[in-house]
Amino acid sequence: MRKKTFAAAALLAAATLTLSACGNGKDDKSPVSVVSEESGSGKAATVLDQPFDKPDLVLTDTHGKKYDLRKETQGHPTLVYFGYTHCPDICPTTMSNIAVAKKALPKAEQDNLKVVFVTTDPGRDTPAELGKWLKGIDPQFIGLTGNFATIQAGARSLGISVEPTSKDKNGKLVSVHGTQVIAFSPKTNGGYVLYGEQATVDDYTKDLPKLVQGANP
Amino acid sequence: MRRRSAIMTTATALAGALALAGCSDSGAKSGSGSGSGSGSRSAAKAELSVSGSYIPQPVSADMAAGFLTITNKGGAKDELTSVSSAAAGQVTMHSTTGGAMREQISFAIPAHGQLVFKSGGNHLMFEKLKRKPKQGQTVTVKLTFATSGPLTVEMPVESATYNPSTGH
């Protein structure tokens, strides 16, 4: 019963929330806070009762090669995140947290884990730019770029809202993208665990050994 | 007489700012928190100090984030109007409202209040850095205000995964 309530809250949050690169709103009534409260109760992870299907994304990797997400990550524990390299705050922190946590895994499990960063700013994030940026975090991380509408649809299928970077009336840049990390099981290939931007390096270090087995954290 | 009391006020404010800087880990160095030049109305002045500043070690020299808290012990509000650093080509200020990250031209600092830049909320964005800041280094940043004098802050560079609530 309790678990069901959590899952419902998480799904609501996932479906409606438009977190930016740089944080959540302060409104205590927002769905964002529902997830925050669960995290505050000691767990960064939200296990979903109804897992997401892995998005059917065929994009371009950092070597300029075609990358079929479903095919390439089939049977592998997989973490998917949508962000962009010109993001100063949450994107590098989230990817660095995962990178540091990953190093605590045995070598074989590190190699088996697929961490996929999908850019929400394909105009600036060319395969070369993405590759350079990810190399600075973890050379094993996979970076994908391509058509924005395709990426947006893929994100939307995971309940993650992304918008093209735009300019407001003062000519200042406005960026909107969800900051959730979705973990996909190596057993079912379903996206069954969700992390918000509050997840720390300790949270990932604690949970990755479970996630690589497809177990609940 | 009038002049003397104005000087005294400034000196008191300066001492206050220095004392505060002394106990903060971010090392605010200069600036009196006064300087509005409007005479001797000491009660209606902002008294600013900076604490908790840090820069997470960035991925590259292209871009870095910065976080700090500005506390106003004074009875008047002020406004952070610009941030600059010799280490970066440009420093801009950003907020998050309604799920959107947005560049701002200024941030209000309420009387007896705080302006907080923290991960997931407001942040400073350093662009075109001369070199990539590394953990253990510091970056000198100048904060400019609408009425108070400028403050110089030595921002420590922490690890990429630094969490201020745990301190590591």
Of residues B3 and A79, more confidently modeled: A79
Give the distance from residue B44's alpha carbon to the nearest chain A alpha carbon, in angstroms.
29
Is A109 strand, coil or helix? helix
Closest listed residue to residue B162, CA positions, set A92, A209, A24? A92
Find, in chain B, the residue whose alpha carbon is nearest to that of A99. B161
CATH number of A33's domain: 3.40.30.10
Q: Where are the alpha helices (DSSP H) in chain A?
A: 2-16, 31-40, 69-73, 90-102, 107-112, 127-135, 148-156, 201-211
* Structural domain contains residue A216: no
Q: Where are the domains of chain B?
A: 2-35+44-158
Which residues of B fall within a CB distance of 8 Å from A176?
Answer: 99-101
Which of A56, A54, A57, A61 minimizes the C-alpha distance to A75?
A54
Reported as a pLDDT band with limits 50, 70 and 90, residue B43 is low
Q: Which residues of A touch B85 (CB under 8 A)?
A: none
Q: Label residue B99 by pLDDT band (50, 70, 90).
A: low
Hey, what are A176's tokens? 């909107």
The model scores a pTM over 0.90: no
pLDDT of residue A178: 87
Verify whether the Cβ–Cβ distance A176 to B103 is below 8 Å.
no
**What's the pLDDT score for residue B42?**
52
pLDDT tens over chain A, length 217 residues: 444 444 444 444 444 343 333 333 333 333 333 333 334 446 899 999 999 999 999 999 999 999 999 999 999 999 999 999 988 889 999 999 999 999 999 999 999 999 999 999 999 999 999 999 999 999 999 999 999 999 999 999 999 999 887 888 877 778 888 899 999 999 999 999 999 988 999 999 999 999 999 999 9
Question: How high is the pLDDT of residue B120?
Answer: 86
Rounded to two decimals, the ipTM of the complex is 0.74
pLDDT average, residue stretch B1-18:
43
CB contact under 8 A, A92 and B56: yes
Helix (H) or strand (E) holding B95: strand B88-97
Q: Is B167 left (phi over 0), alpha (psi -120 to 50) or beta?
A: left
Q: Is there a domain that residue A46 lies in?
A: yes
Joined tokens for residue B56: 């997470």
Question: What is the third-level CATH fold of B2-35+44-158?
Answer: Immunoglobulin-like (2.60.40)
**Dihedral angle computed from the Cα positions of residues A21, A25, A29 and A35, in that order, rounded to the nearest 10 degrees:** 40
Q: What is the pLDDT of residue B160?
A: 95
Is residue B69 helix, strand or coil? strand
Q: Taking 80 as the threshold, does the pLDDT of residue B28 lie above it?
A: no
Is residue A114 in a domain?
Answer: yes
Crossing angle between the packed helical segments A2-16 and A31-40, to the nearest 10 degrees: 140
* Domain, as residue range, for A45: 2-211
A174, B101: Cβ pair inside 8 Å?
yes
Query: Which chain B residues touch A if contact means CB-CB below 8 Å?
Result: 56, 58-60, 62-65, 94, 96-105, 119-121, 123, 125-126, 160-161, 163, 166
**Distance spanning both ends of chain B, measured CA to CA:** 52
**Rounded average pLDDT over B84-113:** 90
CB B151 within 8 A of CB B30: yes
As for how many domains chain A has, the answer is: 1
Average pLDDT rounded to a whole number, residues B82-98: 91
Interface test with A, best of B59, B60, B97, B105 (most A CBs within 10 A): B59
Chain-chain contact of A133 with B60 (C-beta, under 8 angstroms): yes
State whether B104 and A97 contact (CB < 8 Å).
no
Annotated binding-site residue? A91: yes
Predicted local distance difference test score (pLDDT) of residue A159: 93
pLDDT higher than threshold 80 for residue B81:
yes
